[in-house]
Structure formats: C-alpha cells, structure tokens
Structure 1
C-alpha cells in the first residue's frame, strides 16, 4: 500500500501567517506610538502653536506642514517607482481626478473644522492619550462628519 502524495503549496502555514500578521500589527502600533510622540514633542498637537499659525505669528507649524508635504511627495514618488507589499505585490498609487470643486469644498470643510477645534484630526488620539479629555468632543464630531459624508456621498460633487 502506497501513501497518498502530499500536495505542495507555496502558501505559508496558517500559524506562520498569523505570526506575520501579528508582527505587522505590532509594527503599526509601535510606529503609531512613535508618531504620536513626535507630534507631542514637536508641538504639532499644541492648540497654541496652531493659533500662532492661523494668526501668522510664528513659522513653526508652517515648517512642520511643509516638511510633511515634502515627505509625502518623496514617499509617494518612491512608492510609485519601487513600491511593493510585504508579499511582493506591486503597490499602485492612482492619479487624482482633475477638478477644483472637491479640493476647495473638502479643504474648506477641513480647515473650518481645524480652526473651530484648534486641532488637526491627526493628533486627536495623541491628545486623548495625553489626557486632554476635551478631544472626546472633537472625536465625536469627526466620527459624525465621517458618517454624514458616507450617507451623503452620492449627492456631493466629486
């Protein structure tokens, strides 16, 4: 009696895949904690720094935002040229659709919320972690705005 041949597979075992997924999640968590620390230490999450920026009293936030834009340009260019996932699949960065309405309306809404709250949505969780409990109101309205956008998306200009 002969043994049945075992199928060969290039897919990793489920235990190995779970370990890889957990490692990826831990990496994202550590990068997020590091990024949050950078936001707090650079004062990007400071209401006072944001007010200084909107009043054109200090260059600090403009420098931070400019460096973020430059970093985004460089990383997007590198992703388009050399990007791939951990599994080796190519990363495709789609070009933006032409038009100005979506950018003016979206940027205006974002800027209005930023000005009213005194904080960009990025550091909301960082500020909550720092004990600024007033950010719960900002988080609630950010979630409400996201829900409303999802509900009204088909009726909005894109």
Structure 2
C-alpha cells in the first residue's frame, strides 16, 4: 500500500472516532451547545467536560509528538509558525463564536450531524462551505 493510502485510512479512522465521540457526548445536538452558552439561564455544563477531555487528549498528543522525529505517515510535522494575534485572527474567532452560538454547531459536529438528516444542519454546512470557499477565493489571495 502507498503512503497516501495509509494517510487516507488514518484520516478516515480519526474522523470516525471523532464523530462517534461527538455523538456519544451529545454534541451533535445544537440545543446542548446553546445550553452551555446560556450561562444566565438553564446552563448545561456538559460541554465543559467534553472540551476538557479534548484538551487532555491534545496535551498528551503534543507531548508524544515532541518526542517523535517525524509523523507516521509524512516526512515532517506541519506546525503553525505564525504566533501573531492580528485583526484577521480576532475577527475570524469572533465570527466562529457567533456562528457557534447562533447555530449551536461548529464545523466538526455539523459535518457529523449530517448523518442525522436534520434539514437545518444541511443548510448550516452549505453556508459554512460557501463561507470557506469565499474566504479561499477572495480573502486568502490578499496575503
């Protein structure tokens, strides 16, 4: 098998594990996410535990990565080099947070929620893809 086949298989397996984790934790339900963001109403703290678990797993993964010479399916790690906090980062983060709060979904759970077949999720993913395409075609060419 080629390296690309292993990369594709690893990506599919990771996506499946991620989707199952989101489903088991209830994060495919936008009401649960919006309940977490409703700190002055009927607050649902369950997302904090999901986020905490994700941070713990990522922390372990970064520690393991630091000890490796190269990733299993590539010649080098592709880490961000820009550490600057600038206007595009702040604006993008704010837009992401607004979309998450209004829609109750972020990209990962939105794609995983497509398996449930809720029409609003399909609309959310289409709008997300249009926004990503616009950014890629219009704004990313300015840098």
Query: Which TM-score bucket, shorter chain as reference?
Result: 0.7 to 0.9
Aligned positions of 1:99-118 closer than 5 A:
99-118=85-104
Structure-2 change in CA distance of 1:50 and 1:92 (3 Å) = closer
Aligned positions of 1:60-79 closer than 5 A:
60-79=46-65
Aligned-CA RMSD value? 2.4
Structure-2 change in CA distance of 1:113 and 1:83 (3 Å) = farther
Pick from 35, 42, 45 the counterpart of residue 28 of structure 2: 45
Quote the Cα distance in structure 2 between the aligned partners of 1:107 and 1:39. Answer: 22
C-alpha contact (below 8 Å) 1:79/1:93 kept by paired residues: no
Quote the Cα distance in structure 2 between the aligned partners of 1:108 and 1:88. Answer: 33
When the two structures are superposed, what TM-score results if normalisation uses the length of structure 2?
0.80
- The answer to whether 1:29 aligns with 2:16 is no
Quote the Cα distance in structure 2 between the aligned partners of 1:79 and 1:138. Answer: 34
- The answer to whether 1:137 aligns with 2:123 is yes
Query: Greater share of helix residues, 1 or 2?
Result: 2
Compare CA radii of gyration and give the structure with the larger one. 1
Task: Tell me how many residue pairs correspond in the alignment.
Answer: 139
Secondary structure of 1:61's aligned partner: helix
When the two structures are superposed, what TM-score results if normalisation uses the length of structure 1?
0.73
Structure 2 alignment gaps of length 5 or more: none
Structure-2 change in CA distance of 1:62 and 1:87 (3 Å) = closer
2:79 — aligned with what? 93
